[in-house]
Amino acid sequence: MMTSRRAFLSTAWLLAAGVVRTAGAAHKFHASFTTIEFNPESGSLEISLRVFSDDLENALSRKARRRIELDRAPEAAEMVSAYVRERLKLRRASGEPLRLAWVGMEQRVDMTWVYVEASAPDGPGGIEALVTVFFELFRDQKNNVSSKDERGKRHDILFRPSDSGFKPLIPAA
């Protein structure tokens, strides 16, 4: 009985230590997740970008040339907005850029959600995206973008650092 209790306590301690160490350690993969939804009432694309908070802090710190902590920097929202406008681009197939309007951001344990929107009265058809979030930090970064067409069918595109061009949100039929 004593051996199993000792084994249980040892296992519990190791798990707890692993959780603490994992929380403070860098994650093993580098990805962002963007969801673009069309709101027909407002005629806008509602965009949410989910990223690892430590990666976002690293990108902002690199740009500012000083340590930026999202929960402590009073200018964090302004810096995040500028970074997202630089790294998440939308345009019409004609090349005309769509302007991203800041909505806000939300932080949870190790993730940050960033919300922006863009006017697109005709929906996501004919809109192209280029997402280069954290490409300056990681060679293995992957940026996933998910959107839906008029029929509600989901379309996913993936951006890697080796990609250099815009991709259509909705593939041509």
113-157 pLDDT per residue, tens: 999 999 999 889 899 999 999 999 999 999 999 998 878 899 999
Give the CA-trace dihedral at 12, 13, 15, 16, to 10 degrees. Answer: 110
More reliable by pLDDT, 16 or 168: 168
Decide if 146 contacts 36 (C-beta within 8 A).
Answer: yes
Query: What percentage of the chain exceeds 90 in pLDDT?
Result: 69
Query: How large is the average pLDDT for residues 89-112?
Result: 94
- SS3 state at 65: coil
d(CA 35, CA 21): 31
pLDDT over 90 (residue 13): no
pLDDT of residue 27: 64
pLDDT of residue 10: 42
pLDDT of residue 26: 61
pLDDT of residue 14: 38
Query: How large is the average pLDDT for residues 97-120?
Result: 95
Decide if 129 contacts 166 (C-beta within 8 A).
Answer: yes
Q: Give the pTM.
A: 0.81
- When pLDDT is cut at 50, 70 and 90, the band that residue 173 belongs to is low
Beta bridge partners of 46: 37, 117
Phi and psi at 55, nearest 5°, equal -65, -40
Decide if 80 contacts 114 (C-beta within 8 A).
Answer: yes
Going by C-alpha positions, the residue among 36, 40, 33 that lies closest to residue 148 is 36
